[in-house]
Chain A
Amino acid sequence: GAVVSQHPSRVICKSGTSVKIECRSLDFQATTMFWYRQFPKQSLMLMATSNEGSKATYEQGVEKDKFLINHASLTLSTLTVTSAHPEDSSFYICSARYGASNNEQFFGPGTRLTVL
Chain B
Amino acid sequence: GENVEQHPSTLSVQEGDSAVIKCTYSDSASNYFPWYKQELGKRPQLIIDIRSNVGEKKDQRIAVTLNKTAKHFSLHITETQPEDSAVYFCAAKRAQNTGFQKLVFGTGTRLLVSP
Contacts and interface: CB of A to CB of B under 8 A. Distances in A.
Contacts of A34: 102-103
A110 B108 contact: no
A77 interface: no
Contacts, number: 51
B44 A112 contact: no
Interface residues of A, number: 23
B42 interface: yes
B103 A105 contact: yes
B73 interface: no
Nearest to B43: A107
Contacts of A49: 100, 102
A48 B103 CA distance: 11
B44 A44 contact: yes
Contacts of B25: none
B107 interface: yes
Contact of A110 (B32, B42, B45): B42
B42 A109 contact: yes
Interface residues of B, number: 23
Interface of B: 32, 34, 41-46, 49, 51, 89, 93, 98-108
A51 B43 CA distance: 22
Interface string A19-63: 000000000000010100000011111100101000001000000
A43 B108 contact: yes
Contacts of A45: 105
B43 A44 contact: no
A51 to B, nearest CB: 7
Nearest to B36: A107
A51 B34 contact: no
B69 to A, nearest CB: 22
B51 A44 contact: no
A33 B42 CA distance: 19
B105 A43 contact: yes
